[in-house]
Structure 1
């Protein structure tokens, strides 16, 4: 959307500010409406769908939180979550700016403003929203919808858009519950193989005995219980996509057998001497930390190179900002329909409580939390007290923290690796952040064989 087609609402209790904004934007935008009283926000956005709202952060109204703008921002997002909101304040309060952005604001401007800056900010946000909308629509899977407007998810959509039409092997990385299987399905559904089979295998759950028979198949009599020929998953996916989930959990021996099949592009069933050609697109996924995959004592580098033509890293829910609101509305609507309940609305503190939770179980945990809330709530308004977070997830997180190595060498080594990765291997920048000299960092790199 371009600025000339945009409807804009400006809210400020200073009449001079509103006059200045109206004079500035009226020749450029489709419609510019000004409002002095923030109490009228609800009625204003109810009757008109505004593309952009410019919201002052401080009013002399009834809401006495010290941060009235945050209150009205939440009200706007609760009623019209898709609306772009630009916060404006006369005070250089960085903490307040960060809080506003976390609560769902699209940008933050300081008074007095520069006219060029306001115009450029609005144009940029409108262009970005248009791009996001087109990407989200074009990458919907036929069986599932991937929801997300955060910058982190837009990076994922960008990769999906470029990679899906190709036959490149893809490695999907992310924590448990982030939706790696949805990404794999979207890759298939947006590929040239979408009309062919999509076969998923949880290889991490296969025992050594089952690994070869499940993946490669077998002939009758190949072993005691082989009473008839059985096609393996590679052959079943021929022409389509094979999705190997939890690839990071397979043994080195299994990795060798898998590598052979991928390299030769043919599979030999157990009990047979005849190789069968296969034509598959391979997608793998794991929640294993990339540093573990880089450890050749645990994972073969030649296999990594084969399965990782492109990697897609799915961000954890805690890094996805306003996606929590969008996902919450989706899941609540889904479960209200499933359990034959009326449409729900959210109390002002409901989304706020969700955003404060770390969600160690990611989208999967959010989904179950909201399903539980829908089931247990009698009214039509979901309140903060309706949210009960899983003690199991909290226990897992606590346990993982407790089992982290406290050895000083390990701590120093991990700190160096983290900073080097952050600065993409730049030793000077890394040494500066670590507070040591370049020579000292080189000595430590040598010490830890990095």
Structure 2
């Protein structure tokens, strides 16, 4: 390892001067900084003036030869000063019971002296990785606190005044202060993640981390590693110890999005963890207690999936203590002007465009549009219009309403009450023509039209 690539700051506290010198000679070849200290009384001053990645702490000093009491005392003091400290205890009189007590007291690991250099090195590198993880988690918590302080709107980006969305706000108010598991249901683009974050931000856990996992993007083979973590060497690409999302979310909120996409075997593994509130990393038998607030979401019909044996009923009961069903945008028409104005201001600023408002005709057209992609579709429509427009006021021609409506008409799942009479007729003609593979005579017969009447309608609708 070259001088340039060395990292890590190590503090060794031991009353054996020969041990300290030998340790420094060996470890300075592998770490950027190795500090030595014979007197444990100096520990508080050292920690207030320096930040160490790993502290190697002797368990027995001259006052107390073999009980380890001094080591436990100074371990407690170190963790009081810096709870994220990573401490490896060392002793010549170690046994299993002492090791277990040290770990329970907050130590990361336990080594016996005289040690094997390579084993000591491996222990220190592993401890450094743990320190990095702790600092990353603390950084996430710090950022979460900053975000919460900046939020003036109680529900952040959930915008709306309609009765449908007010009902959602009322439910958030009631459930956020509890630790109840929440299942959020709704179509794609309705804002399920925003609701999950609102629950977290209004809960007693708001100063802890919010961890989002898109289960739809987690492969079957990486599910356990991603959620539960893994030990170095447990599989081919496991080059280091890694905490899973459950451990990272400890004391905070874990949001499992697209939970309906999980296979039955993965559902069983998830259920076991939720029941036991413990996780074991892949490649380890050690169980780690977890304390999380669980929020799940899906756009899939879980109750139908239970009947079809595609989703476990016991898992559904575990995750849906409280259900929040988000309304589609077509059921929140009075919220469309508010949402559109919000996105207009955002993207006008982002792209430095002099766009100030929407014309009344655009707002009217938006409220007639079906919005199958819900708020996400509205957001993308505004972003595109602002990028392409050269005027201060957006007009209907700045949007692809006709193309969007055509896509809706092409949908096999369309319902007839979403459109005007002409739209319904167009849908019906298209479906009958498809049924008879374009045969005009058979289609006209089923529709109760003459061939010439059907041809006129085909020309009228551009079919």
Query: TM-score band, normalised by the shorter chain?
Result: 0.5 to 0.7
Q: CA separation of 1:200/1:294 partners in 2, compared to 1, >3 Å: closer, same or farther?
A: same
Q: 1:249: how far off?
A: 0.7
Contact 1:139 1:157 in 2 (8 A): no
Per the alignment, residue 207 of structure 2 pairs with 195
Write out aligned runs for 1:245-260 (5 A): 245-260=257-272
Per the alignment, residue 384 of structure 1 pairs with 396
Per the alignment, residue 401 of structure 1 pairs with 413
Q: 1:283 aligns with which of 295, 302, 312?
A: 295
Q: 1:139: how far off?
A: 6.3
Name stretches of at least 5 consecutive residues in structure 2 with no aligned partner.
1-150, 416-463
TM-score where L is the length of structure 1? 0.56
Per the alignment, residue 381 of structure 2 pairs with 369
Residue aligned with 1:358, SS: coil
Q: 1:357: how far off?
A: 0.6
Q: 1:338 aligns with which of 350, 363, 371?
A: 350
Q: CA separation of 1:292/1:398 partners in 2, compared to 1, >3 Å: closer, same or farther?
A: farther
Deviation string, structure 1 residues 71-106 (Cα, Å, up to 9, x no partner) = xxxxxxxxxxxxxxxxxxxxxxxxxxxxxxxxxxxx
Q: 2:321 aligns with which of 278, 295, 309?
A: 309
Give me the whole-angstrom Cα distance separating, in 1, the residues matched to 2:409 and 2:183: 25
Q: 1:140 aligns with which of 154, 157, 163?
A: 154
TM-score where L is the length of structure 2? 0.55
Per the alignment, residue 255 of structure 2 pairs with 243
Contact 1:139 1:186 in 2 (8 A): no
Q: CA RMSD in A?
A: 2.1
Contact 1:169 1:309 in 2 (8 A): yes
Q: Is 1:226–2:238 an aligned residue pair?
A: yes
Residue aligned with 2:255, SS: strand
Write out aligned runs for 1:78-227 (5 A): 140-141=154-155, 144-227=156-239
Give me the whole-angstrom Cα distance separating, in 1, the residues matched to 2:334 and 2:182: 28
Residue aligned with 1:140, SS: coil
Contact 2:182 2:321 in 1 (8 A): yes
Contact 1:139 1:160 in 2 (8 A): no
Q: 1:152: how far off?
A: 0.4
Contact 1:203 1:245 in 2 (8 A): yes
Q: Which has the larger Rg?
A: 2
Contact 1:361 1:393 in 2 (8 A): no
Residue aligned with 1:208, SS: coil
Q: CA separation of 1:234/1:389 partners in 2, compared to 1, >3 Å: closer, same or farther?
A: farther
Residue aligned with 2:336, SS: helix
Deviation string, structure 1 residues 248-302 (Cα, Å, up to 9, x no partner) = 0100000000000000000011110110000000000000024434425011010
Contact 1:139 1:161 in 2 (8 A): no
Per the alignment, residue 266 of structure 1 pairs with 278
Higher relative CO (Cα under 8 Å, sequence separation at least 6) belongs to 1
Give me the whole-angstrom Cα distance separating, in 2, the residues matched to 1:400 and 1:251: 26
Give me the whole-angstrom Cα distance separating, in 2, the residues matched to 1:402 and 1:313: 21
Contact 2:355 2:394 in 1 (8 A): no
Per the alignment, residue 350 of structure 1 pairs with 362
Residue aligned with 2:283, SS: coil
Deviation string, structure 1 residues 183-228 (Cα, Å, up to 9, x no partner) = 0111111111011111000112211111011000011111111111
Give me the whole-angstrom Cα distance separating, in 2, the residues matched to 1:344 and 1:202: 36
Contact 1:360 1:397 in 2 (8 A): no
Q: 1:346: how far off?
A: 2.4
Q: 1:396: how far off?
A: 7.3
Give me the whole-angstrom Cα distance separating, in 2, the residues matched to 1:225 and 1:293: 35
